[in-house]
Amino acid sequence: MSQAQSTTQGVSKETIFQRADNAELYAGALIPGYSCGATFETQNPYNGQCIGQVEDGNANTVNKAVEAARETFEAGTWADLAPSERKEILLRWHALLVAHTEELAALDCIDGGKPISECLETDLPETLETIAWYAEASDKLFGRIAPTGKDALALIEKEAAGVVGAVLPWNFPALMYAWKVAPALAVGNSVVVKPAEQTSLSAYKMTQLAHQAGVPEGALCLVTGMGESTGQPLGLHADVDVVSFTGSTDVGRLFLQYSAQSNLKNIVLECGGKSPQVIFDDAYDLDTIVDDVLSAAFWNMGENCSCGSRLLVHSSRKTELLTLLKARLPEWVMGDPKDPATKIGPMIEAVHFNKVSGYLATAKAEGAELVYGGSTPSMGAGLFVEPTIFDGVNADMSLFKEEVFGPILAVTAFETEEEALRLANQSDYGLAASIYTADIRRANRAAKAIRAGNVSINCFSEGSIATPFGGYKQSGFGGRDNGLEAFDQYLETKTLWYAN
């Protein structure tokens, strides 16, 4: 019987919800030889109730984790395995994660306020696919031979970077963990993961399962806690080779400073966005397009980095499109994330709710016209923002320029293709964009003109695990997640020159 088969299955979502009701859930550091310290409470954003404890790590915790990670890297118990051996272990991890799918989905639901149906149908399937994809890719990477002429042989090799810090956001907890950790581990690095303080529970379980599958404990350490007390020491640590960060542009900027102030570690940033959805006058079948537009704007409560929060629509199609959007929006049911019918859960926490709901007043004050929603219903702990549409948003308004990270869609009309593309690019961000047109030549012109890392044509898509994901301008820095490109974050390049 294989190790994966001999392992108990994960518990049901009902069991996790029960444990949450009894405040029994837990996450804390996973570092060899380390015993955990003080904790803080983690809440269910829907009702504000304490669901468990999370270890409040600090610089000492980070030091221990980095020490263990370095020791393991130097010992070679992970880094020096044959790639096919690492693959086998990562596939065992995948099998364990599959067995714990429902448990992990329930943890992200209860911890992050994410609708359970989203967790089960999107987040966890993509998480599992990511782990399997990088496990399978790990023994299929080749170096190159340089064109030297007959006097020499030059090999261009890729080597594991060493100790990698992975700093995660709260909006897709299990999935962002997989995006960072799977490619970094697959090529032999030791990884220290720091999940967001709001959503550490699934990271704890995923790390435990990795150890159970055979990933050495020092090759994958977990540190939980606040950004300032754990993220900062990781960013400043002189023995960390790479930090791969996903989160806000403001905190991303800090990581560049941490690197400059310490050891010039490589920094990769996946940051915010203000992505345009461009609907040209010849867009076919708005009745179909409307679902894509809604998903882009409101999926995951708009707490999505590639959220299509700016709708740029040709003036001749605006009335028709707005009518369809308003007719379809009641399907986006707000409620308890534990309810399978819920499509819109609460904002993650009060500070974030205040920020998002603040835009309702700001947009009105700046002259935008509320055409749908705009309420903050008092259900649960009262952190709901109704899916909202503002029309008449111009390029000077906050709603056009700033990442809201909530369910508020800004509508701007345009007259010409040139104006549409100028508006699309009028942003500090450049993560994603969608273009809707029946004209293939216009689609191609627009796709090339838009300065963004991910452009989808006649749909809203973030691509797949096979395609790189990341942004231009202030949406990203230093590399890409996903695809074979993600490996570049975690590898150094070495030239070997042999004289003949």
Q: State yes or no: residue 489 binds ligand NAP (CB under 6 A).
A: no
Among 173, 272, 337, 407, binds ligand NAP (CB under 6 A): 272
Please name the helix (run of DSSP H) or strand (run of DSSP E) that holds residue 493, with its range, or none.
strand 491-499
Local structure of residue 285 (DSSP, 8 states): -
Residue 273 touches which of ligand NAP, Mg ion, none (Cβ within 5-8 Å per kind) = ligand NAP
The DSSP string of 56-99 is ---HHHHHHHHHHHHHHHHHTTTTTS-HHHHHHHHHHHHHHHHH
Tell the residue number behind the tokens 């090529």, with chain if given.
187
Kindly give, in sequence order, each residue whose CB lies less than 8 Å from that of residue 118, ignoring residues fewer than 6 positions away. Answer: 299, 300, 343
User: Using CB under 6 A, which of the segments 60-68, 242-250, 390-398, 439-447 binds ligand NAP?
Assistant: 242-250
Q: How far is the CB of 171 from ligand NAP (least distance, A)?
A: 5
Residue 170 touches which of Mg ion, ligand NAP, none (Cβ within 5-8 Å per kind) = ligand NAP
Residue 235 touches which of ligand NAP, Mg ion, none (Cβ within 5-8 Å per kind) = ligand NAP
Q: How far is the CB of 38 from Mg ion (least distance, A)?
A: 17
Q: Is 279 left (phi over 0), alpha (psi -120 to 50) or beta?
A: beta
Residue 77 touches which of ligand NAP, Mg ion, none (Cβ within 5-8 Å per kind) = none
Task: Tell me if residue 119 is catalytic.
Answer: no
236 close to 262: Cβ distance less than 8 angstroms? yes
480 close to 470: Cβ distance less than 8 angstroms? yes
Query: Which of 55, 103, 118, 270 is flagged as catalytic?
Result: 270
Task: Spell out the alpha helix ranges (H) of 299-349.
Answer: 318-328
Residue with smaller CB distance to ligand NAP, 179 or 414: 179
Q: Which two tokens stand for residue 327?
A: 């007719």
Site for Mg ion in 28-87 (CB under 5 A): 42-43
Task: Tell me if residue 270 is catalytic.
Answer: yes
Among 56, 108, 111, 123, binds Mg ion (CB under 5 A): 111
Write each residue from 299 to 338 as x if it is in contact with ligand NAP (CB under 6 A), else as -, in one continuous string.
Answer: ------x---------------------------------
User: Using CB under 6 A, which of the segments 109-117, 243-251, 325-333, 370-378 binds ligand NAP?
Assistant: 243-251
Q: Is the dihedral of CA 302, 294, 429, 235 positive or negative?
A: positive
Q: Is the dihedral of CA 356, 320, 368, 456 positive or negative?
A: positive
Q: Is 98 left (phi over 0), alpha (psi -120 to 50) or beta?
A: alpha
Q: Which two tokens stand for residue 261?
A: 């102030």
- Tell me, letter by letter, the H, E, C secondary structure of 235-251: HHCCCCCEEEEECCHHH
Query: Which of 55, 305, 386, 403 is flagged as catalytic?
Result: 305
What is the distance between the alpha carbons of residues 428 and 419, in angstroms, rounded to a whole number? 17
Q: State yes or no: residue 456 binds Mg ion (CB under 5 A).
A: no
Q: How far is the CB of 235 from ligand NAP (least distance, A)?
A: 5
Q: State yes or no: residue 169 binds ligand NAP (CB under 6 A).
A: yes
Among 210, 297, 431, 465, binds ligand NAP (CB under 6 A): 431
Secondary structure class of 401 (helix, strand, coil): helix
Q: State yes or no: residue 405 binds ligand NAP (CB under 6 A).
A: yes
Residue with smaller CB distance to Mg ion, 108 or 217: 108
Q: State yes or no: residue 483 binds ligand NAP (CB under 6 A).
A: no
Q: State yes or no: residue 167 binds ligand NAP (CB under 6 A).
A: yes
| Residues catalogued as catalytic | 270, 305
The residue ranges that bind ligand NAP (CB under 6 A) are: 167-171, 194, 196-197, 226-228, 231-232, 235, 246-248, 251, 254, 270-273, 305, 403, 405, 431, 471, 475
The residue ranges that bind Mg ion (CB under 5 A) are: 42-43, 111, 198
